[in-house]
Chain A
C-alpha cells in the first residue's frame, strides 16, 4: 500500500535531513501511529506520501504507483485516493457543514446527485447528521474535527492521513475522534496518524513507528508511545547518532 525505499529528504537550505534513509512498508488496512518529537520528520513523512514534497533520494510507492513517476498534471488525480485531516481542521468558515464536505466533491467534478447521496452519508458516519446546516464557528472543536474527517472520507479514500488530529482537543473529545478513526479503519481504510498523544497510543495498541531526527528508530506492532521492548534498529542505524 505504502512503501518507502531508502528515502531521504533534505529541505533546501538546511544541512540536516528531515528524513534520513527511511525504509518501511505499510499494508492495506493497517492502523499506524507515527510518533516522535516535533521536528522529527513525521509531517515530512505525510507530505511525502501526499506528494506535496519530492524525496531527495529514494523511491516511494503509494497504492502501487511510483510517486517519482507521476507527472505533476496527474498528482491531483492521485490525491483523490487519499484523505487528509489536520490538527487545525482547515474548514471554510463561510460555508456550512454540508457545503464544506460537498466542496471537496464539487471541485473534483462530482455530480450534484452523487454529492447529495455521499455528503449525508459521510456526516452520518462521523455522527453529525443533525448539524448539516451549521457553520464551523457554531460547532465545538471536536465537532469541527468530525467535519474535517467527513470531508476527508467522503470520497472513500484508500488511505487516511491524520496529522495530530487530536492535538487541539481535550482527552474526552479525543477519545471520540479516535473511536471514529478506528471505525473508519475497520471499514478497510488504511489510517496513518501522526501524534504526540501518549495516552491514545498506549490505549489502542496498534503499530507504532517512532521517528527521531529523521530516522525510524522503532517499528513495533501493538506498541505504546514509549516502549520497554527492545527497539527495532533497522540496518546500519544505531540509536547512538540519533538526537
Chain B
C-alpha cells in the first residue's frame, strides 16, 4: 500500500513538472557525458603512457656532413669517433643503465624514413646522406636519459641526444589539458544540475503543498513525506545518466574505435570495455548527486 502510494506520488510529480524534469534530464545528461569523456581521456592517456614510455628510446645522433650543431663541424662522424661512442656505451660507467643498444646506419635510417613517410612528398626529397647515423639506446629505467646526455653530449662527432619521451610528454600535456578542461566544464555543469534538481523538487513540493500540509497535520512521518520527492529527483537524474552512459559508449564505439583507430592504426585506443567501466560510475554519480540535492531541497522546504 505504502509503496504503491509512494510510486504513484512520484509518477504524478514527474508528470506535473514535465518541463523541469526534462531540463534536469538534459543537464545531467550533458554534464555526465563530459565527466565520462574526461575519465575516458585519462584512461587513454594512462594506456598510451604505459605503451609508449616502455618503447621510448634515446637516440644518440652522430654528425653528418651537413650538421653544424653539437660536436659537429660539417664533417661526418669518423669511424674512430663512432667507435669511441660505442666504447662509452659499453663502458662500466654507462653499461649498468643500459638495457640494449644498436647502431643504425644512414641506409637503415633512410629505409625507416621511407617506410614511415611513405607516399608523402618529403620522402622523395630525402637522401641517405641527409640522415644521421645513430645509436638507439634502450635504458633500463627510461627516465634516466640525462645520464647519456652528460656522458656523451660533449663528444666530438655526436650531434645530439634525443629522448623520445620528450616528444611524448608534449602530446600527453595536450591530452591532459583537454581532459582537465572537460572535467572543469563537467564540474560547472554538475553544479548547475544540482541546483536545477533542487529547484525542480521545491517546485514539485510547492505544487503539492496542500497534500504536504495535510500529511504533516495527520502525522505522516518526515521520511514518508520526503521520499517521493527524492525518488522523483533520482529518477530524472537517472534518465540523464543512462543517456550519458549511452553517449559515452557510442563515442567509444563509433568515434574512437570506428574512426580514430582506423585512422591511426599504430596507436592503441580505449575500447568498449573501458567505456562499460565508466557507465556504472556515471549512473552512480547521477543518482547520488540527485539524491543529495533533492534531499537538501525538500528538507529545507519542509522546515520553513
Q: Give 22 A-B contacts (CB < 8 Å), ordered by A residue.
A: A73-B222, A79-B216, A79-B217, A79-B219, A80-B218, A90-B210, A90-B214, A92-B214, A103-B211, A103-B214, A106-B5, A107-B5, A107-B215, A107-B218, A107-B224, A107-B225, A108-B218, A108-B220, A109-B224, A110-B1, A151-B218, A155-B218
Chain A interface (Cβ within 8 Å of chain B)? 50, 72-73, 76-80, 82, 84, 90, 92, 103-104, 106-112, 151, 155
CB neighbours (8 Å) of B224 from chain A are 107-109
CB neighbours (8 Å) of B220 from chain A are 76, 107-108
Indicate which residue in B1, B214, B222, B225 contacts A104 across the interface (CB closer than 8 Å).
B214
- The answer, yes or no, to whether B119 is at the interface (CB within 8 Å) is no
A80 → B minimal CB distance (Å): 4
**CB closest residue in chain A, given B211:** A92
For the complex, what is the distance from the CA of A79 to the CA of B215, rounded to whole Å? 10
**CB closest residue in chain B, given A93:** B210
CB neighbours (8 Å) of B222 from chain A are 72-73, 76
**Cβ of B210 and Cβ of A106 under 8 Å apart?**
no
For the complex, what is the distance from the CA of A11 to the CA of B240, rounded to whole Å? 44
Chain B interface (Cβ within 8 Å of chain A)? 1-2, 5, 210-211, 213-222, 224-225
**CB closest residue in chain B, given A95:** B211
CB neighbours (8 Å) of B210 from chain A are 90, 92
CB neighbours (8 Å) of B216 from chain A are 76, 79
A109 → B minimal CB distance (Å): 5
13 further A-B contacts with Cβ under 8 Å, apart from A76-B216, A76-B220, are A50-B217, A72-B222, A73-B222, A79-B219, A103-B211, A103-B214, A106-B5, A107-B220, A107-B225, A108-B218, A108-B221, A112-B1, A155-B218
Of listed B211, B219, B220, residue having the most chain A CB within 10 A: B219
**CB closest residue in chain B, given A74:** B221
**Cβ of B1 and Cβ of A111 under 8 Å apart?**
yes
**Cβ of A78 and Cβ of B219 under 8 Å apart?**
yes
CB neighbours (8 Å) of A84 from chain B are 217
B300 → A minimal CB distance (Å): 14
A93 → B minimal CB distance (Å): 8
**CB closest residue in chain A, given B9:** A107
CB neighbours (8 Å) of B213 from chain A are 90
